[in-house]
Structure formats: structure tokens, C-alpha cells
Amino acid sequence: MLRAFTARRIAAAAAYGGGGITALGGITFGLVVVEAKLARRMITATPNGDPPVADGLYGGTLGGAPLSLVMIGDSTAAGLGVHTPDETPAALLAAGLSAIADRPVRLTNVARSGSRSQALRGQVDRALQARPDIAVIMIGGNDVTGRVPPAESVRHLADAVERLRARGSHVVVGTCPDLGTVKPLMQPLRFIARRASRQLAAAQTIAAVERGARSVSLGDLLGREFAADPRSMFSEDRYHPSARGYASACAAVLPSMASALGLEPDVGDLLGDGVLPVYLAAAEAAELSGTEVRGASVEGKERGPRGRWATLLRRRTVTTDDTSPTPATHDPA
């Protein structure tokens, strides 16, 4: 009962904009502002420049018509923090998908560093020109740091998913990462950032699954590894993932992409009670990185008395070596 109550509270607060960084006041807010400025100064002291451009054809020597993959979102989707195109998450996913499908993949990355969810409309406009078979959306961190109400962020995400699905594209959403893992953040900012991040992630999951997409909880980007070895999992700015960090995230996202396209069966460890109301699955996924939430049905019905049915799944992820592209298979656009 307590677990269900907590999940309802998290999901309701996320959906309607309560809590998080927007709910602070007085001395606490002043302290957080000072800490945020210090953290930002430390992060921006190591400029990253623009992320590498990885657009092009992967697996060009393979037969068959290319699958179209589009990457949408913020700096994590764009690949800020790494130095070569093959290290970006878009390239890792394109190469991995090509290997699983045994056919070429045409990658188009419309993600832009610094984007908040309101930028999704323009990005989807550009993405649809590529006629995507599958779209991966990673966004949310800038909404949290910009104190955008979760309800506003989720409206933009829901619209993006609906438009992509209406054009026949499968959609996988990598939910908001846990900003509480960022090294320069101190308490209480670290706690507040974690709470706001997970709240938004839960709301993103509900919005995505309700509209026919799958979500993958990036959370702290498979946080045990990040917490145990932040020097290798974060890039030089101590905010964006390193090549190894992106590879860990892609290892969680790639199986969901393959399953959405029917290239691999829905294999993995069912969590919770197997099929749950989506708000319960969303709350659990926000607390457990690397988990997928997708729509389900019970006795042929997609909805129950407490909303959309969903399945919470932890997949058997591929190794990072399996997602690494080789230069010979990548033809730049």
C-alpha cells in the first residue's frame, strides 16, 4: 500500500508540475542558487565545443534497404563530451542496430546541445524529413536545471511522440538522467536535483507509454558504474558522459530499439507483478536505471481501472563492444 501511495504521489506531482526545484523558498532557495552558480562555473570551466557529427550510413556493405534512425533531444543525444563521431550515442546505436538487423542504418541526428523539451517540435519537423523507422529521444536535463515545470516539459514530449507515431515511426524515449550524480553538485542541491530528475523521468515514461512509445530509464546512466568510477564515466566537464558512459547508456537502449522493430523478442526479467498500471511502472523505473516500460494488455484490454497497463522489463543488455562501430562501416552523410 505504501509503495502504491508513493508511486501515485510521484506520478501526480510530475504530471501536474508540483515539487522539484520549483517548490523551494527562502533561505533554502538562496543556498541552492549559490550552489548552482558554483557548479555551473566548475562545469563550464572545461569547454567541450560542438559534439562530433556522426550522421551517415552504418553497415553500408550489408544488403537490404537502410533502416532510418533519427536521434532527437539535448546534448546527451547530440553526444557532447566525446571527441570522435564513433563515440557518440547516435553512432553507437546506429552501428549496433545495423549489426542486429544485418542491414544498413541511415543515421540522422537533429539533437542540439542546450535544448529543452520545447525544442522538440522543431526537431521533430526535421526528423520527419528522414522518414524514420525508429526515433530515439533523450531530453530533460536542461528542463530540470531551467526549472521548467514537469507538466510543461511532458506536454512537448507527448506531442513529439504522437507526431512520430502518426507517421509510422517507432519511438524509444531515454528518460531524464539523474542530475544528482553530477560531480560538482553539493548538498542540498544534489538531493533536489535527484528528486526533480526522477519526478520528470516518471512523467516522461507515462506520457511516452500512453502514446505508444517505449521508455528506458537512464536514471543515473546505470549509476553504480558512474558512482564507482566517475572519472571514466564522465567527460572532462564532469557533467556530460564520457565515451564509456555513453556506451553504458546505449547498452540499455539498444535492446529496446531492436525489440520495437521486431528484430529481437521481448526477452528480459519482468519486474514488479509483470503487468502494472503505467504510473506504478513509471515510478519504479525512475528508481531503477536500465529498465524499459512499454504498453501491455490484460485480457485483451489496454486500459484498466487505474489507467494504461504497462510492463516493466529489465533486458539482458549487450556489451559495450557489441555497440561499437568500425570506421569501415560508417559512410558520412
Decide: 191 and 209 in contact? Cβ < 8 Å.
no
Could you say which of 156, 170, 240, 330 is catalytic? 240
What CA–CA distance (Å, rounded) separates 220 from 197?
10
Reported residue count of the chain is 333
Could you say which of 133, 178, 220, 237 is catalytic? 237
What CA–CA distance (Å, rounded) separates 32 from 296?
41
Could you say which of 75, 98, 117, 256 is catalytic? 75
What CA–CA distance (Å, rounded) separates 167 from 187?
45
What CA–CA distance (Å, rounded) separates 183 from 319?
26
Nearest to 143 by CA among 130, 155, 131, 134: 155
CB atoms within 10 A of CB 212: 16
Q: What nine digits make up the cell of 279? A: 504510473
- 215 is a catalytic site residue: no
- The position carrying cell 506520478 is 11
What CA–CA distance (Å, rounded) separates 249 from 244?
9
- 229 is a catalytic site residue: no
- 321 is a catalytic site residue: no
Enter the DSSP assignment of 176: P
Q: Where are the beta strands (DSSP E) in the chain?
A: 56-58, 67-73, 105-109, 134-138, 170-174, 214-216, 268-277, 291-295, 303-304, 307-315, 330-332
What are the residue numbers of the active site?
Answer: 75, 237, 240
